[in-house]
Amino acid sequence: MKTDERFSSIYAVLTVTYAEAHCELHHANPFQLLIATILSAQCTDARVNQVAPALFQAFPNSLAMAQAPLEDIEKLIHSTGFFRNKAKNIKNCCIEISAKHRGDVPHTMAELSALPGVGRKTANVVLGNAFDIQEGIVVDTHVSRLSQRMGFTKQTEPEKIERDLMKLVPRTEWAFFSHRMIFHGRRRCSARKPDCAKCEVAHLCPSFGSTKL
């Protein structure tokens, strides 16, 4: 089966299986989603969702976050891991948003990715989910792992994986594709013990039964 045919068949199943797939980082606006996504690096969404409410209650917007003592931010996000680096990035990011963007989260890839602590993946999360702008595909650990297992790409670097996926996935589906892959990765196709026996797309997956899983 050709890669594009395999993709179409697999994604048709995932679309039905995870029809309600969505961003699992709780947020009420672009600012909250941006900060939550920065916090989610090497941390679970569940943990971020536990920590974020107190952070946003203390510092509800970019100006308040920019003016916050670094130590206060560190204390509130301590349990997300790498808290010192994250706090520094969050504060500096908010300083730039306040100074250069009048306190509003920018909505272009160039402007977002220029902010401290914001790479292409984070920018794609914000653009696709806060602004409904399909600029690219979020390639996190789940999307990367599953795309390789399902034969959508042979690349290992996120940006190269993204380029391969952008050729396969219709642009209108870029954000939804990531959500569905992430849902499948968390609920079925885990890194160490993929549940191939119950997998909805096992019959289409070239890695089914492979010892390389």
| Residues 112/100, Cβ–Cβ less than 8 Å | no
Catalytic residue check, 160: no
CB-based contacts of 189, cutoff 8 Å, min separation 6: 142, 145, 146, 149, 195, 199
Dihedral sign (CA 118, 119, 125, 127): positive
Residue 140 a catalytic site member? yes
CA–CA dist 165, 126 (Å, integer): 19
Q: 121, 160, 164, 195: which is the annotated catalytic residue?
A: 121
Helix 45-58 to helix 30-39 angle (10° resolution) is 130
Q: Which two tokens stand for residue 67?
A: 């003016």
How many C-beta atoms lie closer than 10 Å to residue 201's C-beta? 21
Evaluate whether 131 touches 105 at the Cβ level (below 8 Å). no
Phi, psi angle pair for 33, to nearest 5°: -65, -40
Query: Cα separations (Å) of 104 from 107, 134, 179, 201?
Result: 9, 19, 25, 41
The answer to whether 135 and 129 are in contact (CB under 8 A) is no
Given the residues 72, 75, 140, 164, select the one marked as catalytic: 140
Active-site residue numbers? 121, 140
